[in-house]
Every structure is written in structure tokens, then in C-alpha cells.
Amino acid sequence: MHIDHIGIAVDDLESAIATYEKLLDSKCYKRETVEQQKVETAFFQTGESKVELLGATSDDSVIAKYVDKKGEGMHHVAFEVDDIHAELERLRDEGFRVLSEEPSRGADNKLIAFLHPKDNHSVLVELCQTITED
């Protein structure tokens, strides 16, 4: 459908929030901890898309390992989809490797799943679908 957000891994979430508030001339509108991923997120609206800052809440989180290995910077690009299960099936059929068997609950009221960066020219791609209450 569209780019939902760009995820940026940071070492110091508070400092990064202050930087992006100045850069984007807007306040962080939402902060959320995702225990399963051991990450705290901070969101900024930028037109139709968002910037998501990702700070590790544990030294053994994926984000902590990423920052230790590669430093701060862009972590992923997230694309909003209507039906994440159907899209994952389509992409598997196209030969893409999905990093988890099933989507999981992520920040910002989304179901999420990631595609292996080696299949996307070294870019980690996230698919996300807004969770709707029936």
C-alpha cells in the first residue's frame, strides 16, 4: 500500500528523540515498549509515513546487537499491507525468506514480519498490518 515507516536503530533513545524533534520540527507523538522484541520505540509523523526510533531495552536484544555491530542508523523499511498472511504467502512463493513463521505483534498496533535482507539488496524489509478490532 505505502511506506508505513522507516526504522532507525539508536544507542540513546532520549538523545535521538531530542535530535529528531529538532530535525522534523515536531514532537514525538508516541512511545511504546515491545517486551517480546526488547525494544522501546518512539514515533514521529512525517506526511503519510512515520519515523520509528528503536532503542534496546536489553543488551541481548536484536537492536542492541545491531547497534554494536553496525552502529546507529537505518534498521528497516516497513511497508503497510492489507493482509499480511496473504502477502507473506505470496512473497514465499516468489522465493523471499521470511524471518519468522508467523507475524507477531509489534509497536503501533501492528502485526509485523520481516524479510531476510539478503533477498532485498541488504535492506531489512518489514511488512506490517494494522490490527483492527472486530
Q: How many CB atoms lie within 10 A of CB 40?
A: 20
List pLDDT tens digits, range 26-42: 999 999 999 999 999 99
> CA-based angle 56:35:100, to the nearest 5?
90
Mean pLDDT of 78-98: 96
Residue 125 is given by DSSP the state E
Do the bridges between strand 39-46 and strand 49-56 make them parallel or antiparallel, or are there none, so unpaired?
Answer: antiparallel
Residue 92 is given by DSSP the state H
Instruction: Output the pLDDT for position 134.
Output: 56
Chain mean pLDDT for the chain = 95
Instruction: Output the pLDDT for position 101.
Output: 87
Mean pLDDT of 47-66: 96
